Amino acid sequence: MFQDITTLLLDPKAFRDTIDLFVERYKDQGITVVAGVEARGFIFGPPIALAIGAKFVPLRKPKKLPGEVISEEYSLEYGTDKIEMHVGAVQANDRALVVDDLIATGGTLCAAVKLIERVGAKVVECACVIELPELKGRDKLGDRPVFVLVEADA
């Protein structure tokens, strides 16, 4: 499911306000890692990480990261895919925020959370700009907290 965020990115004030809403929420939560899901998590994750003093870790599609990686497979409507991160990028004592632009079915976000939890880190919350609630993506995440700014129709 695709939601166009271009209008947000073309409006510097709206984009800054969006980042500021996330920063205000997470600045005092002891987050040490902001993990951004490819590709649009790379737009929102780095400015949040910089503002709260955390490192940014890209979570990428297969074979996009050099060096040693760990991966997590997840189901798509017709098949499977994987998400990867560098070995050692997230440590067992890290407190992570997982960022993406959208939560739809929850498959990618769930794989991202599992990848981070596999190395022993705590996922404090998942943060998305948009949620498509009728697709029930939160259900895949179980009791893990999710924060979204906007709910939209699928």
- How confident is the model over 31-86, as pLDDT tens digits? 999 999 999 999 999 999 999 999 999 999 999 999 999 999 998 878 899 999 99
Residue 135 lies in a domain: yes
Query: Residues with catalytic annotation?
Result: 40, 77
Domain of 119, CATH number, reads 3.40.50.2020
Hey, CA dihedral for 58, 61, 67, 72, is it positive or negative? Answer: positive
Q: Tokens 């995440």 correspond to what residue?
A: 141
Asked if the structure places residue 76 within a domain, the reply is: yes
User: Could you list the residue range(s) of the whole structural domain that residue 126 is in?
Assistant: 30-151
pLDDT of residue 2: 62
Question: pLDDT tens for residues 24-38?
Answer: 999 999 999 999 999
Q: What is the pTM of this model?
A: 0.95
Domain tally, the chain: 1
Half-sphere exposure of 34 (CA within 13 A, CB side): 26
Residue 142 lies in a domain: yes
Q: Is residue 20 part of a domain?
A: no
- Residues 150 and 105: their CA atoms lie apart, in Å, by 16
Instruction: Classify residue 106 by burial, with Cβ atoms within 10 Å: 0-12, 13-18, 19+.
Output: buried
- What is the per-residue pLDDT across 93-113, written as a single tens digit (0 to 9) for each? 999 999 999 999 999 999 999
